[in-house]
Chains A and B, each alone.
Chain A
């Protein structure tokens, strides 16, 4: 088994799955081309995350990351929640396989986008419906990461300088 017990527990019994009707903030990252996609819904009460739900299209680690992220974020003040990093989620899961570390980026990114959405709405900023990117295969939010060592890389590169891993298509 490539995943540890904590990851498998969150994968088998994901916490806080679903949507929130009339959510105060929604954050969506990834796209189907990446192989994973996550949507976070927030209910905010007095600048605190009263409720949080997620929906995820992705592998075992993407689902476990989503679940753990919601557990960490639930009940936190927005100021505290903004400090949640990808590493916090991966650490709480007691580690992910190296080539799955990028999944943890997805979680924290989605949460930060949802908080931003809440703040924008409060400030009266209207944002257009986010369009799904179709050209870029490996983006999460606006960034690309090496699936092996998780350093940020340029889109379209075929070799990771940091870990010397070939990123070409399998043919």
Chain B
């Protein structure tokens, strides 16, 4: 049995967990190293050194605004990432519009940053209607329209889901919000930089995004706030970010995100096509290697790089650990792999049984993967799943293999 170190030396580690993070692009690294070497001052300072920093900050804002096709770079508010952006959108919109009403419409499959922000403001008297989704994780726009009341001040529906990769009929939902003059927020953390994204075409008022989705640094992201949308800051203090988010900006991170955004704008079509080719190859060839796998990802309306696959009769953490030994990193949504040991609310919402949810893997391809990586992954997956099914009493019982 080789130890961990030997294993690492022997083979290239294949990262198939690009939904958790992405490696920095070389150009992003270079931009950040250059920024470090420039010894930038505080962008809010009014002397020359401060102005130089402010110029770098605003350059990044323009780069990011282009990625979202925002009219005005001032509509971009830099945050510490997707979670802060979601908190800002929900809590900020709720506080700013409480005089108009206290009802919010959302879905059952949102990220915890949205779900828990909504739970937090319930104590301020807000009520939330959370809509169910179909077995591929899509919400019906008609349900959204029916859930709206006179009291509704915000509709928040994620663009794509981080566990299933399914993309929502977001333009139709945004149109409902616009018609009824309700603010519309979409958590697009897993979409921006991966799929072509246009805030004007979608018609969103608030859009959360994160830099590490598009090969920028972690810990930085932003919230698009359409001009005129009424949203309070959730961080109070100085006048940074056009009075929308206090605190000295994470300039190095933002410069990295700006560089990543510029490359995403340039490469997005090619990136999309390449990622989709890896995913299509995997889905096409998977049945030759394994039977009894449920694909939870929508066949058409989904992220180009993500597959959620529930492998029956086995548990995901075991698969993840064994694949790790084989030099392959994947993510699992098994309850056993979470701190709380509770099954994923997203997987239960799309109608999976607890047992099938346990065997769920999230496979997310990246620009650094090759078709050969997919081949090696399929072979290793077959080996690992066969080993674990041989141990599993469910396989024996259900499939009559015993």
Q: Which of B317, B325, B391, B402 contacts A56 (CB under 8 A)?
A: B391
A9 to B3, CA, bound (A): 11
- Binary flags per residue of A1-41, CB closer than 8 Å to B gives 1, else 0: 00100001101111001010000000010001101111100
Residue A157 lies at the interface, judged by CB distance under 8 Å to chain B: no
Chain A residues lying within 8 Å of B230, measured Cβ to Cβ, are none
Residue A60 lies at the interface, judged by CB distance under 8 Å to chain B: yes
Asked if B340 and A33 make an inter-chain contact with CB atoms under 8 angstroms apart, the answer reads no
A99 to B317, CA, bound (A): 14
Asked if A17 and B391 make an inter-chain contact with CB atoms under 8 angstroms apart, the answer reads yes
Chain B residues lying within 8 Å of A37, measured Cβ to Cβ, are 393-394
Residue A57 lies at the interface, judged by CB distance under 8 Å to chain B: yes
Q: Which of A28, A35, A166 contacts B354 (CB under 8 A)?
A: A35
A102 to B341, CA, bound (A): 11
Residue A58 lies at the interface, judged by CB distance under 8 Å to chain B: yes
Asked if B343 and A63 make an inter-chain contact with CB atoms under 8 angstroms apart, the answer reads no
Chain A residues lying within 8 Å of B315, measured Cβ to Cβ, are 35-36, 57-59, 62
Asked if B336 and A58 make an inter-chain contact with CB atoms under 8 angstroms apart, the answer reads yes
Q: Which of A13, A17, A39 contacts B390 (CB under 8 A)?
A: A17
Within 8 A of B (CB), among A62-103: 62-63, 99-100, 102
Interface size band for A = 35 or more
- Binary flags per residue of B311-334, CB closer than 8 Å to A gives 1, else 0: 001110110011001000000001
Residue A55 lies at the interface, judged by CB distance under 8 Å to chain B: yes
Chain B residues lying within 8 Å of A169, measured Cβ to Cβ, are 342-343, 345
The total of Cβ contacts below 8 Å across the A-B interface reads 93
A168 to B210, CA, bound (A): 28
From B108, B322, B342, name the one whose CB has the most chain A CB atoms within 10 angstroms: B342
Residue A167 lies at the interface, judged by CB distance under 8 Å to chain B: yes
Asked if B321 and A33 make an inter-chain contact with CB atoms under 8 angstroms apart, the answer reads no
Asked if B354 and A147 make an inter-chain contact with CB atoms under 8 angstroms apart, the answer reads no
- Binary flags per residue of B339-368, CB closer than 8 Å to A gives 1, else 0: 111111100000001110010000000000
Residue B337 lies at the interface, judged by CB distance under 8 Å to chain A: yes
A39 to B335, CA, bound (A): 21
Asked if A59 and B393 make an inter-chain contact with CB atoms under 8 angstroms apart, the answer reads no
Residue B392 lies at the interface, judged by CB distance under 8 Å to chain A: yes
Asked if B354 and A170 make an inter-chain contact with CB atoms under 8 angstroms apart, the answer reads no
Chain A residues lying within 8 Å of B339, measured Cβ to Cβ, are 99
A57 to B315, CA, bound (A): 6
Asked if B336 and A36 make an inter-chain contact with CB atoms under 8 angstroms apart, the answer reads yes
From B353, B394, B402, name the one whose CB has the most chain A CB atoms within 10 angstroms: B394
Asked if B340 and A32 make an inter-chain contact with CB atoms under 8 angstroms apart, the answer reads no
Residue B246 lies at the interface, judged by CB distance under 8 Å to chain A: no
From A14, A28, A39, name the one whose CB has the most chain B CB atoms within 10 angstroms: A39
A168 to B116, CA, bound (A): 12
Asked if A171 and B391 make an inter-chain contact with CB atoms under 8 angstroms apart, the answer reads no
Asked if A60 and B317 make an inter-chain contact with CB atoms under 8 angstroms apart, the answer reads yes
A91 to B117, CA, bound (A): 41
Within 8 A of A (CB), among B368-402: 390-396, 402
A111 to B316, CA, bound (A): 25
Residue A137 lies at the interface, judged by CB distance under 8 Å to chain B: yes
From A14, A60, A62, A102, name the one whose CB has the most chain B CB atoms within 10 angstroms: A60
Interchain Cβ contacts under 8 Å between A and B, 15 examples: A8-B321, A11-B318, A17-B391, A32-B354, A32-B355, A35-B334, A35-B336, A56-B391, A57-B313, A57-B315, A57-B355, A57-B392, A59-B317, A170-B112, A170-B338
